[in-house]
Amino acid sequence: MNPRILTYYAIAIATVLSLVGCSVNPVTGKNELSLISPQQEIALGEKNYRPSRQSQGGDYYLDAELQRYVATVGNRLAAVSDMPDLPYSFVVLNNSVPNAWALPGGKIAINRGLLTYLADESQLAAVLAHEIVHAAARHGASQMSRGTLASLGLLTVGVGTQGREGAQLYGLASELGAAAWMAKYGRDDELESDYYGMLYMSRAGYEPQGAVELQRTFVKLSEGKQGGFVAGLFASHPPSIQRVEANQARAAPLPSGQRYAERYQAAIAQLKTDAPAYQAAQEAATALKNKQPKQAIALLDKAIAVQSDEGYFWELRGLSWKMQNNFTNAEKAFTTAIGKNSEYFSPYLARGVLRHEMGQKSQGLADIRRSHELLPTPMASYYLGNAALDDQQYAQATSYFKKAAMAGGDLARQAQKGLASAQLQLQPELFLTAEISLSDQGYLLITTFNNSPVSMVNIRLRLTAGEQSRWFNLESVLPAGRSVTINTGVGPIVSSATQYRVNVRSATVLN
């Protein structure tokens, strides 16, 4: 590498370190680099907690007592942690995938799918205490800081903070959302969370062997080639024999505590009763993926017979009817799903898209807007972008289409067209440019370039000479990345005294 570049990077690193310095890990007492302040961490957790929950099934609402029970266990552990004053929250998510996670500031979630694999309250405490340590020890901030210093691109951004501790990085994390914090933790962070998590368990009166048993169960499942389980369960917390052995060594000197097996089993009784229904729904989802809607309906009949208040079952039912082009039944099913759980984005989006496709645009957009309020998705953004475009609100349409374009696939391609249409009205010169030249016979030529990623049609050009103007329409399609030249008929030009100018005034994106 060029010595000057190396020198620049060295200066940049020194600048970042001088701006933010080191912070003390509240759990271990060690000095660690952090580019984000504790206050910014808490704000990030608050901002991302609801959308993270929405994107992963929403809150489990069928058993409010289970939510209270898990929160009670979590708060009992948080109270004996090294950061008891964090604004902790604990929630059970309506998700069958066995998993748990923590956002900065103590925002913690555990899927109902994991609860069914636990034997007693001590094992639940092991899961929650582990996540509490991730939050209390500021592992998310430390992880992002390390990743930032490893990225030269972000490093130069950090240099530009000019004393505003972590300002640029905070903004980036806000845009990335929970994904910025849910990446795979390092081995040291995992062992640290295991180690101090068991200490918290002991302080709260729980049996620390619950944590050892938990890791042993996960390793056994991994060895049993249940890769999907392990991939879903703690993609950020990989199990290993080494962790089991380390946990066993840590648990050995700790005093024995309570397991509370009976009250744990009582707390998850509803989940165990409904387990066949969720299994049938999972099979129905697979049938839908394989384009077998009638089979999905049959499976959902079984699920609803066990638990009729689960909105997810009704939403799947709506998708099954829609696949069979029975839009009336589909709309009824989506409406039932919303009635069962009015605080979840997905059935609103499904019904909104259906109504929009049926020609009920105002009703459809109302549903789509509600879904977007609960969770801004690329699909909702695309429909709202089109609505804004129709209303000639081009700046708003641009914002929506940019979010929709992040989806990838066909939706992204359609969003790119919408984005071009909106920006074409605001700044046509970004996409289409025109140049003047002369033919061999001295006639004025106009060459129009399409610099956009989409094809254009109905391009309107204005040629001016002093106070006079002439208009030209290019009605043929101008593909992306191509140009076209027309002869204006002006000429032959024998004098350069007249100054001609040309600009693009409007165009239409080809659908």
* CATH number of the domain to which 482 belongs: 2.60.40.10
Confidence at residue 401, expressed as pLDDT on a 0 to 100 scale: 95
Residue 303 reports pLDDT greater than 80: yes
Confidence of residue 362 (pLDDT cuts 50, 70, 90): very high
Q: Does residue 410 form part of some domain?
A: yes
Confidence at residue 34, expressed as pLDDT on a 0 to 100 scale: 62
The total number of structural domains in the chain stands at: 3
**89 and 206 share a domain?**
yes
Confidence at residue 383, expressed as pLDDT on a 0 to 100 scale: 97
**256 and 351 share a domain?**
no
Residue 17 reports pLDDT greater than 50: no
Confidence at residue 395, expressed as pLDDT on a 0 to 100 scale: 93
**453 and 383 share a domain?**
no
The whole domain housing 17 covers 3-262
Measured CA to CA in angstroms, residue 376 lies from 174, 185, 405 at distances of: 14, 27, 13
Pick from 67, 44, 156: which is nearest to 115 by CA? 67
Structure tokens at 8: 């620049």
Q: Does residue 267 form part of some domain?
A: no
Confidence of residue 232 (pLDDT cuts 50, 70, 90): low
**166 and 206 share a domain?**
yes
Confidence at residue 448, expressed as pLDDT on a 0 to 100 scale: 93
Element spanning 312, H or E: helix 311-323
Q: Answer yes or no: are the C-beta atoms of 198 and 208 closer than 8 Å.
A: yes
Structure tokens at 23: 């912070």
Residue 226 reports pLDDT greater than 80: no
Average pLDDT over residues 421-445: 86
Residue 44 reports pLDDT greater than 80: yes
Q: What are residue 16's phi and psi, to 5 degrees?
A: -60, -45
380 CB-near residues (< 8 Å, 6+ apart): 349, 352, 368, 369, 371, 372
Confidence at residue 340, expressed as pLDDT on a 0 to 100 scale: 98
Quick one: what percent of the chain has pLDDT higher than 70?
81
**420 and 496 share a domain?**
no
Confidence of residue 151 (pLDDT cuts 50, 70, 90): very low
Mean pLDDT over the full length of the chain = 84
- Which of 262, 280, 304 is the last residue in one of the domains? 262
Confidence at residue 59, expressed as pLDDT on a 0 to 100 scale: 98
Q: Answer yes or no: are the C-beta atoms of 421 and 475 closer than 8 Å.
A: no
pTM above 0.85, yes or no: no
**130 and 162 share a domain?**
yes
Confidence at residue 505, expressed as pLDDT on a 0 to 100 scale: 84
* Cα dihedral 138, 140, 143, 144 sign: negative
Quick one: what percent of the chain has pLDDT higher than 90?
58
Please state which of the ranges 106-110, 177-181, 283-287 shows the lowest mean pLDDT.
Answer: 177-181
Please state which of the ranges 66-70, 166-170, 490-494 shows the lowest mean pLDDT.
Answer: 166-170
Please state which of the ranges 25-39, 73-87, 378-392, 496-510 shows the lowest mean pLDDT.
Answer: 25-39
Q: What is the pLDDT of residues 103-134, one digit of tens each?
A: 989 999 999 999 999 999 999 999 999 999 98
231-240: long-range pairs with CB below 8 Å, 24+: 232/97, 232/98, 232/99, 232/113, 233/97, 233/98, 233/99, 233/114, 234/99, 234/100, 235/99, 235/184, 236/101, 236/182, 236/183, 236/184, 236/185, 237/130, 237/185, 237/190, 238/184, 238/190, 239/215
Please state which of the ranges 47-56, 111-120, 179-188 shows the lowest mean pLDDT.
Answer: 179-188
């989802």: which residue's tokens?
A: 285
Q: What is the pLDDT of residues 308-319, one digit of tens each?
A: 999 999 999 999
Confidence at residue 368, expressed as pLDDT on a 0 to 100 scale: 98
Confidence of residue 33 (pLDDT cuts 50, 70, 90): low
- Which of 204, 227, 262 is the last residue in one of the domains? 262
Length of the chain: 511
Q: What is the pLDDT of residues 325-354, one digit of tens each?
A: 999 999 999 999 999 999 999 999 999 999
Average pLDDT over residues 342-367: 97
Q: 433 pairs with which residues across the strands? A: 449
Confidence of residue 219 (pLDDT cuts 50, 70, 90): confident
Confidence at residue 141, expressed as pLDDT on a 0 to 100 scale: 58
**231 and 328 share a domain?**
no
Average pLDDT over residues 206-229: 78
* Cα dihedral 244, 250, 256, 262 sign: negative
**249 and 373 share a domain?**
no
- Which of 240, 262, 284 is the last residue in one of the domains? 262
Q: Answer yes or no: are the C-beta atoms of 274 and 232 closer than 8 Å.
A: no
Confidence of residue 177 (pLDDT cuts 50, 70, 90): very low
**471 and 372 share a domain?**
no
Q: 108 pairs with which residues across the strands? A: 90, 102
Higher pLDDT, 97 or 126: 126
Q: Answer yes or no: are the C-beta atoms of 236 and 253 closer than 8 Å.
A: no
Average pLDDT over residues 264-286: 98
**120 and 213 share a domain?**
yes
Residue 101 reports pLDDT greater than 70: yes
CATH of the domain at 333: 1.25.40.10
Confidence at residue 262, expressed as pLDDT on a 0 to 100 scale: 98
Confidence of residue 13 (pLDDT cuts 50, 70, 90): very low
**193 and 282 share a domain?**
no
């997810």: which residue's tokens?
A: 312
The secondary structure of 359-413 as a DSSP string is: T-HHHHHHHHHHHHHH---HHHHHHHHHHHHHTT-HHHHHHHHHHHGGG-HHHHH
**342 and 436 share a domain?**
no
